[in-house]
Amino acid sequence: MTTTSKVLSGVLVVIVLAATSLAVAISHTSACGPAPTLAPAQPMRAAVHRCYGSPDVVRIETLAKPIPSDHELLIRVHASSVNPYDWHMMSGEPYLLRPSSGWGAPLDVSLGKDFAGTVEAVGKLVTRFKPGDEVFGLGSGAFAQYLRSPDSTVVMKPANLTFDEAAAVPIAGLTALQGLRDQGQLRSGQKVLINGAGGGVGTFAVQVAKALGAEVTAVTNSGSLELVRSIGADHVIDYTHEDFTLRPEKYNLILDLAGNHPLSAYRRVLTPDGTYVIAGDISKGSWTGPVASLGKTLVVAKFVKQKLVAFIADINQADLATLADMLQTGKVKPVIDRRYPLEQIAAAIRYQETGHARGKVVVTVD
């Protein structure tokens, strides 16, 4: 063996050892830590996960009521809703998330993002909200009686909406709105296909696309065909009987919430200048999960004429306000499949995780 090949072999061994150590470290899951034993002066009930795992690791514990900082609101939560995001945070999968969510165990033991509730107190620099306001938005730890949230991710709840309905909106509504209007540049009269139309994001997407003046084709399973028709879909395709990528129709835009076809198949049913937008997929791979499909879309986009886009929803107040207007005027109405009390949060996450909820799964907090 020459000196060069000895050095190269040594470097290769070091790289393999480093990659293996990183893989072991990133995929390591620690045992659940204990709950705190001191009783807080101002207690509340909250869902907590002190380790990564299935919904079985989620417990209801008594924690201290949060204290809002200068730019935050203290919200008394009336309802929340479950998103695939909560499952990712609970399970710590894909592992790629763990450098930010916590190696081995979650850095943030709380769960839940979407909420609707009443403002209980405001930080000293908050001017837009006051105690008693009925609001909805996003914060951390929404599966709880109280949460603190930045005032920039909250808007007033339209009076015609119940708290349950408002809690169904934030992540799913923003994803639908931004996927169609911003990423997809959907214009009136265009043909859009929504793959995954019967789920949380999909039921908002059908209605937002109609509100933007599009002709909507909704792809869903047999059990949700009537539902998507009832919220405005012009055409429906049952994916258990037919593969839409083999049909002759072409679409200006495909909003993909299932990611269950190859990119080449989606491109075949796009117009030559059409746009494909993927927000997520149904794969539950431990290592990369939906990140692989999103990444692949971005790479292929560099080499083809049609526009291919992968995106993560941007949490912002302006778009929450746009959704509030659409809800107020009745252009959009949240579709709620099931409601679970906070105490049954594990069952709520388990049901959402099936990937076949018809609309949103709401968690009610008394």
Ligand X SMILES: NC(=O)c1ccc[n+]([C@@H]2O[C@H](COP(=O)([O-])OP(=O)(O)OC[C@H]3O[C@@H](n4cnc5c(N)ncnc54)[C@H](OP(=O)(O)O)[C@@H]3O)[C@@H](O)[C@H]2O)c1
The least distance separating ligand X from the CB of residue 34, rounded to whole angstroms, comes to 31
User: Which residues ranging from 101 to 160 are in contact with ligand X (CB under 6 A)?
Assistant: none
Q: Determine whether 166 is exposed, middle or buried from the number of CB atoms within 10 Å of its CB (0-12, 13-18, 19+).
A: buried
Segment lying near ligand X (by CB under 6 A), choices 122-130, 171-179, 301-309, 315-323: 171-179
Please state the closest distance from residue 105 (CB atom) to ligand X, in A: 23
Closest to ligand X by CB, 137 vs 290, is: 290
Q: How far apart are the first and last CA of the chain?
A: 73
Judged by CB under 6 A, which of 81, 220, 297, 322 binds ligand X?
220
Backbone CA torsion sign across 19, 105, 314, 207: positive
**Contact call for residues 44 and 64 (beta carbons, < 8 A):** yes
Among 75, 231, 255, 257, interactor with ligand X by CB under 6 A: 257
Of positions 46, 47, 50, 83, contacts ligand X by CB under 6 A? 83
Tell me how far, at minimum, the Cβ of 239 lies from ligand X, in Å: 5
Question: By CB under 6 A, is residue 84 in contact with ligand X?
Answer: yes
Footprint on residues 266-305 left by ligand X (CB under 6 A)? 279-282, 290
Q: Does 322 bind ligand X (CB under 6 A)?
A: no
132: region left, alpha or beta (phi > 0 left; psi from -120 to 50 alpha): left
In the bound state with ligand X, the residue whose beta carbon lies nearer, of 72 and 93, is 93
Q: Binding segment for ligand X among 91-99, 127-135, 296-304, 306-314 (CB under 6 A)?
A: 306-314
Q: How many residues bind ligand X, per CB under 6 A?
A: 29
Q: Which of 106, 117, 198, 274 binds ligand X (CB under 6 A)?
A: 198
Among 139, 199, 274, 334, indicate the residue that binds ligand X (CB under 6 A): 199
Residue 18 backbone dihedrals phi, psi, to 5 degrees = -65, -45
Stretch that binds ligand X, among 18-26, 97-105, 169-177, 241-249 (CB under 6 A): 169-177
Question: Looking at beta carbons only, is 117 or 198 nearer to ligand X?
Answer: 198
Stretch that binds ligand X, among 70-78, 112-120, 256-264, 318-326 (CB under 6 A): 256-264
- Entry field: residues in the chain: 366
Is residue 307 near ligand X by the rule CB under 6 A? no
Shortest Å distance, C-beta 269 to ligand X: 15
Residues that bind ligand X (CB under 6 A): 83-84, 171-172, 175, 196, 198-202, 220-221, 224, 239, 257-258, 260, 279-282, 290, 311-313, 355-357
